[in-house]
Amino acid sequence: MILVLLILLALIAGVVGILLLHPDAGYVLINYGPWVAETTLAVLVLGVAIWFLLVYLVLKLFGVAIRLPGNVREAIDRRRQDRASESFEAGLLNLFEGNWQRAEAELVRRASDHHATHLNYLAAARAAQRQGAIDRRDQYLRLATLNKPEHEFAILRSAGDLQRKHGEYAATKATALRLRERDPNHPFAIELLADSYQALGEWEPLRTLLAEPAARSALDPPRYDALSIRSLRELMQAAVAAAHLDQLKALWDGASAYQDHSELRRVYLHGLARLNADAEALALIGPILQREWDPDLALLYGCLHANDPIAQLATVEQWLVEHGAKPELLLLAGRVCLRNKLWGKARSYLEAGVQAAPTPQGYLDLARLCRDTQQPEEASKFYRQGLELAAGAR
């Protein structure tokens, strides 16, 4: 518009200049049919300029009129989008501040006008879960998928995280499996699946998952080791409970990286003893106790039946020399003496053991010794002391 005015002023200035500089302004005669028009050249030029200017303005106004509905719609859309963005930002701020109800209301109120509607619904799902509204949460997740199906992986990731935090591990597992269908090596999908297997007690699938190369890189080393040890321990205990000795041995042989783990080692050795594989347990316990002292394994050693009990007793007495009169060693020596029917030596060791550290098992061993040596009153006394100690421990 300013350009048009400048052109008009330039034309007027030109005409005025002509009139001032040339007294003879020229003469123009136009004859068309019965019509005759006479004027000066300057007036004609000015009239033509004004005419073109008017035509331009009319066309300009016509164009504006035609575009007006579209411009109005664009302005309304821009305003709607601005309000949607403001509402989204307010919703996120309330979410971060912990105002769950206000956050959900803001995020949903203008979600359909926001250019990233799926983000509104994902954030609203988190706000709904914090209020315990699981049905609303799931509805928001469905709406996010409907609005942006191409972002289904990100939506599934958010859904799995929310389900895990709420303790819905069956749903978490299903979501993790869907994630792995799209990206089998995605770290979060592996982490999610491992957590769900652990929570559901599905130890064999967990062990299979951990055997994948991608699982080692997806999980941080402490977490990977903890899950591996837990799954092996549970599977070994299940094998012992089902009396599957071969399965127990296979699990142990496949756990070479964790055979020095004390808890896992105890489960295996106690399992061997329970399944009557005493010779194998003895062969493993001896070298272990030579390297490091373990009171639990020492007591287990005394409960195992050796082909050569005299050699077993000699080993225990050698440990007494090396490690001193530890209570567990005294009780262990007493048990081995009982097995060899060395009654006096057995009683000496057992009484020294319960004197150093009274235990129900120690009193029980003394009671059995007295029973086997025909001392019923002494046996009753030790039974009573063991029961009283056990009741007090509870």
> Do 253 and 347 fall within a single domain?
no
Mark whether 320 and 394 lie in a shared domain. yes
In a domain, 394, yes or no: yes
Domain boundary among 210, 245, 276: 276
Assess whether 271 and 242 both reside in one domain: yes
**Whether the predicted pLDDT of 364 surpasses 70:** yes
| Total domains in the fold of the chain | 2
Using an 8 Å Cβ cutoff, are 172 and 157 in contact? no
248, 332: one domain: no
Of the listed ranges 188-197, 211-220, 230-239, 334-343, the least confidently predicted one is 334-343
Confidence category of residue 128, pLDDT binned at 50, 70, 90: very high
| Average pLDDT over the chain, rounded to an integer | 84
* 136: in domain: no
In a domain, 139, yes or no: no
Q: What is the pLDDT of residues 139-195, one digit of tens each?
A: 999 999 998 889 999 999 999 999 999 999 999 999 999 999 999 999 999 999 999
Please report whether residue 378 resides in a domain: yes
Asked if the structure places residue 250 within a domain, the reply is yes
85 belongs to a structural domain: no
Could you tell me if 287 and 394 lie in one domain?
yes
Encoded amino acid at 127, one letter: A
Say whether both 373 and 297 belong to one domain: yes
265 and 305 together in one domain: no
Do residues 231 and 303 share a domain?
A: no
- Mean pLDDT value across residues 92-114: 89
Alpha helix (H) residue ranges in 131-276: 134-147, 152-165, 169-182, 187-200, 203-210, 213-218, 221-241, 245-253, 262-274
More confident residue, 132 or 299: 132
The boundaries of the domain holding residue 355 are 280-394
Are 302 and 394 found together in one domain? Answer: yes
Q: Match 């066309």 to its residue by tokens.
A: 59
For residue 3, pLDDT beyond 90: no
Distance CA 278, CA 296 (A): 16
- Please tell me whether residues 269 and 287 are part of one structural domain: no
Residues 127-135, mean pLDDT to the nearest whole number: 93
Which has more confidence, 98 or 46?
98
Q: 21 falls in which pLDDT band (50, 70, 90)?
A: very low
Higher per-residue pLDDT: 17 or 94: 94
Q: Could you read off the pLDDT of 34-76 as tens digits, one per residue?
A: 777 677 666 666 666 677 777 777 777 777 677 767 666 776 5
Transcribe 331-391 into DSSP letters.
HHHHHHHHHTT-HHHHHHHHHHHHHHS--HHHHHHHHHHHHHTT-HHHHHHHHHHHHHHHH
- Asked whether the predicted pLDDT for residue 22 surpasses 70, the reply is no
What pLDDT, on the 0 to 100 scale, is given for residue 102?
93
pTM over 0.75: no
CATH code: domain of residue 297: 1.25.40.10
335 vs 394 pLDDT, higher one: 335
Please say whether the beta carbons of 155 and 148 come within 8 A: yes
355 & 307 share domain: yes
Domain for residue 121, yes or no?
Answer: no
User: Across residues 227-251, what is the average pLDDT?
Assistant: 95
Whether residue 350 lies inside any domain: the answer is: yes
Residue 393 pLDDT exceeds 80: no
End position of a domain, from candidates 276, 293, 314: 276
Same domain, 370 and 269: no
